[in-house]
């Protein structure tokens, strides 16, 4: 599994903690910034990561900002992407199991580093279950296609 990771300056410290955690658990990832001392606009980072996933270059993504909300809103503008803001373990699991979310977003000003690592672990360990959720995700994809036809 290949993971794309990105943040804005508000979440740089949390991103570094998560990167260290990914290294520790043996997950292959690429850091798309921001980098130390760099000020960025979170939509630029979210768009880059979401596009990489939509293009099939990465399997999943982790996006971090102050709340996680702006990253999710931006990532969800990319056709085919389902990004979910999660601040508890149950939501992180359900984002994958029920919604097939390829991207998890979190807020560095909302949660601490230990909880963030727990969310990453739960999200990475979860897979889409299909079942009753499959028709819902299929419908999300149909709606997405209506508004993103090229």
Predicted pLDDT of residue 83: 98
pLDDT at 150 over 70: no
Q: Please state the rounded mean pLDDT for residues 21-41.
A: 96
Catalytic-role residue among 7, 34, 65, 86: 65
Could you tell me the pLDDT band of residue 147, with boundaries at 50, 70 and 90?
confident
Predicted pLDDT of residue 28: 97
Question: What percentage of the chain exceeds 70 in pLDDT?
Answer: 99
Predicted pLDDT of residue 30: 98
Catalytic status, residue 65: yes
pLDDT per position as a tens digit, 89-139: 999 999 999 999 999 999 999 999 999 999 999 999 999 988 989 999 999
Predicted pLDDT of residue 13: 97
Say how far apart CA 95 and CA 83 lie, in whole Å. 8
For residue 43, with 0-12 CB atoms within 10 Å meaning exposed, 13-18 middle and 19 or more buried, which class applies?
A: middle
Count CB atoms within 10 A of the CB of residue 25.
11
In 3D space, the residue among 48, 47, 42, 44 whose CA is nearest the CA of residue 8 turns out to be: 42
Give the DSSP H or E segment for 47.
Answer: helix 42-54
Could you tell me the pLDDT band of residue 44, with boundaries at 50, 70 and 90?
very high
Predicted pLDDT of residue 148: 77
pLDDT per position as a tens digit, 50-99: 999 999 999 999 999 999 999 999 999 999 999 999 999 999 999 999 99
Peptide bond into 86 cis (omega under 30): no
- Coil, strand or helix at 27: coil
Angle formed by the axes of helices 12-25 and 113-125, to 10°?
A: 50
């Amino acid at each position: 599994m290949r993971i794309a990771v990105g943040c804005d300056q508000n979440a740089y410290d949390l991103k570094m903690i998560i990167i260290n955690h990914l290294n520790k658990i043996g997950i292959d990832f690429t850091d798309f910034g921001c980098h130390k001392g760099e000020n960025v606009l979170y939509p630029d980072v979210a768009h880059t990561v979401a596009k990489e996933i939509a293009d099939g270059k990465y399997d999943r993504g982790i996006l971090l900002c102050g709340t996680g909300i702006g990253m999710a809103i931006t990532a969800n503008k990319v056709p085919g992407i389902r990004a979910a803001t999660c601040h508890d373990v149950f939501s992180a699991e359900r984002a994958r199991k029920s919604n097939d979310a390829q991207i998890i977003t979190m807020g560095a000003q909302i949660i601490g580093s230990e909880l963030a690592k727990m969310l990453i672990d739960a999200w990475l360990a979860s897979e889409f279950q299909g079942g009753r959720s499959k028709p819902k995700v299929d419908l999300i994809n149909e709606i997405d296609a209506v508004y993103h036809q090229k």
